[in-house]
A and B are shown apart, each in its own frame.
Chain A
């Protein structure tokens, strides 16, 4: 589909050069890190770290979470550098520091590369090499596989590229154990299969934006009907994966009940999107998808916390 348009890149860079007298502020550098995306990445990474068997010094655990955050931000900054041409034509992204001309492209690239290197090196020195390698793989996958290779070429971009967003719990897990456990693969799978319905819900009400930028998102290429069908199918795939942490004993009964309720709600919302032709249901699905993932990971955390709901779950299990 649309490859990097040199004309668009040139226009974006000229706009940046013209505004170079306006030096970027600290808030522009923070915006490069995609803080909202980072917050979910950090949270899932922390849950992976918390659920992993073993012990990690609290300070090193904090360093691991910090490295995950910096690594995610670095990948976001490099992504913004590469995508500055299409960001300039999309309503959702045109106010970002690069397309708005508040920052020179080279500054963003340099910032991203320095942060990426720093996060991996600190993770390797302070925590362990497995976690550092996984973090490096996550950043490389997001930048090279998703951003450079897939995003402008195939409607499966966010399906395969979703692996980058799914890796942080495995990084957190590896920070404690020093290896890749089967349970951490379940956390990976949960985010991996959650990503398509999440992003396709967004692209359903941003179809014009993506079409204008030449990004072959599913609704642009295959139409809204096919996208809604695939979103619904993915919500069914999520049922066993959402329940898997409870089935393998990683979490307790409370999590299982919440996972069932949330999965049912997610599927029902996808059914409403299927029958509804308007934007509102897609917006609701997008919002619910964030709540769905956040709550699943939050309940995993709470279910394992001593003295909290975990105690209630144990009581219920003993009673059953």
Chain B
């Protein structure tokens, strides 16, 4: 059985992972957009 603090800790970690994944995905979209613009300009 998980204690309340362990559940909080788990939720905090899951939230941290989700935010990191979101940042990576947004970063990739921005990166691919920028790469496309640069490559088209060549």
Q: Which residues of B contact A126 (CB under 8 A)?
A: 35, 39
Residues B35 and A60 in contact, CB atoms below 8 Å apart: yes
| B29 contacts chain A at the CB level, 8 A cutoff | no
Q: Which residues of A sit under 8 angstroms from B38, Cβ to Cβ?
A: 57, 59-60
B10 engages A59 (CB within 8 Å)? no
State whether A23 touches B14 (Cβ < 8 A): yes
Within 8 A of B (CB), among A10-60: 21-26, 29, 57, 59-60
When distances are taken between beta carbons in the complex, the residues of chain B under 8 Å from A26 are 13, 16-17, 20
In the complex, chain A residues whose CB is within 8 Å of the CB of B2? 21
For A23, list chain B residues within 8 Å (CB).
10, 13-14, 17
Asked if A183 lies at the interface with its beta carbon under 8 angstroms from chain B, I say: no
CB distance from B12 to the nearest CB of A (A): 8
Indicate if B25 sits at the interface (CB-CB under 8 A). no
Which residue of chain B has its CB nearest to the CB of A23?
B13
Kindly list chain A residues whose C-beta atoms are within 8 Å of the C-beta of B42: 57
- Tell me the B13-35 residues at the A interface (CB within 8 Å): 13-14, 16-17, 20, 31, 34-35
Choice from B16, B34, B35, B39 contacting A25 with Cβ under 8 Å? B16
Q: Which residues of A contact B14 (CB under 8 A)?
A: 23
Residues of A within 8 A of B9 (CB): 22
Give A63 to B10 CA distance when docked, in angstroms: 34
Q: In the bound complex, how far is the Cα of B39 from the Cα of A270, in angstroms?
A: 49
Min distance, Cβ B33 to any Cβ of chain A, angstroms: 11
CB distance from A103 to the nearest CB of B (A): 11
Write the A121-158 contact mask toward B (1 if CB under 8 angstroms, else 0): 01001100000000000000000000000000000000
A122 to B32, CA, bound (A): 9
Closest to B37 in A: A59
- Within 8 Å CB of A66, what residues of B? 31
Q: Assess the A21–B10 pair: CB atoms within 8 A.
A: yes
Residues of A within 8 A of B34 (CB): 59
- List 26 A-B residue pairs with CB atoms under 8 Å apart, sorted by A's residue number: A21-B2, A21-B6, A21-B10, A22-B9, A22-B10, A23-B13, A23-B14, A23-B17, A24-B13, A25-B13, A25-B17, A26-B13, A26-B16, A26-B17, A26-B20, A29-B20, A57-B38, A57-B42, A59-B34, A59-B35, A60-B35, A63-B31, A66-B31, A122-B31, A126-B35, A126-B39
Which positions in A face B, CB cutoff 8 Å? 21-26, 29, 57, 59-60, 63, 66, 122, 125-126
Given contacts A25-B13, A60-B38, A122-B31, 7 further A-B contacts (CB under 8 A): A21-B2, A22-B9, A29-B20, A57-B42, A59-B35, A66-B31, A126-B39
Show the binding face of B for A, using Cβ within 8 Å: 2, 6, 9-10, 13-14, 16-17, 20, 31, 34-35, 38-39, 42
